[in-house]
Amino acid sequence: MASTYCPMLRREPGKRYVCTLLDKEINPIIMPCFGSHEECPIYRSQEEKGEVAEVAMPKVEEGLGEVRISFETPIPSEDVLTKKIEEFNELLGKFRDEIRRINKLRAEYTESLKRLRDYYDKLQGMVEAIKDLLAEAGAGIPEAVAEAKSGEREAEES
């Protein structure tokens, strides 16, 4: 049975993969090390030269016997579990209170933002009205000045 990964691929500590033919770190995702290593150009060239020695897969020995796994984890008493459940429920209650407080703050923020937008719109309206009044007054000022000057000239001429 053929292996599903290249026999020349070696994994080193730190999750690094090294090709023993190149003796360099490689990325097995980019290279065809998994699944179709026979298509790898490096593997094929070394195989044609006869320099590739198949790595023997470790043999599984049969008849090792029965394997027993024991867990030495003590089971906590009912009092300890009850205390932990109470602590959990207390923390859950505090969490729910914080959620309510956050939702209240969010509602207050939304209301304040709405009021600020209304005030801003009113101020913008006032600014526009003042600009219009100034424009009207500014347009009338040169006429009034001209009338006053003509009135002064008439008074001087008389």
Same domain, 85 and 153: yes
Q: Is 68 domain-assigned?
A: no
Same domain, 87 and 29: no
Same domain, 93 and 158: yes
Same domain, 44 and 80: no
Q: Is 69 domain-assigned?
A: no
Same domain, 88 and 144: yes
| Structure tokens, 50 | 């006869």
Residue 17: give the domain boundaries.
9-49
Tell me which residues of the chain have a pLDDT lower than 70.
1-3, 15, 37, 50-73, 139-146, 148-149, 151-153, 155-158
pTM of whole model > 0.75?
no
The confidence score (pLDDT) of residue 121 equals: 96
The letter for the amino acid at 138 is G
Q: How many CA atoms lie within 13 A of 55 on its CB side?
A: 11
Which residue is listed with tokens 């360099």?
24
Same domain, 86 and 42: no
The confidence score (pLDDT) of residue 36 equals: 75
Overall domain count for the chain: 2
Classify residue 132 as exposed, middle or buried by CB count within 10 Å of its CB (0-12, 13-18, 19+). Answer: exposed
Q: What b/e readout covers 22-46, taking b as 16+ CB neighbours within 10 angstroms?
A: eeeebebeebbbeeebeebebbeeb
Q: What percent of the chain has pLDDT over 90?
A: 30
The confidence score (pLDDT) of residue 1 equals: 42
DSSP 37: G
Q: Is 93 domain-assigned?
A: yes
Q: Tell me the per-residue pLDDT of 47-77, one tens digit each, with 9 for 90 and over.
A: 777 665 554 444 445 555 666 666 666 777 8
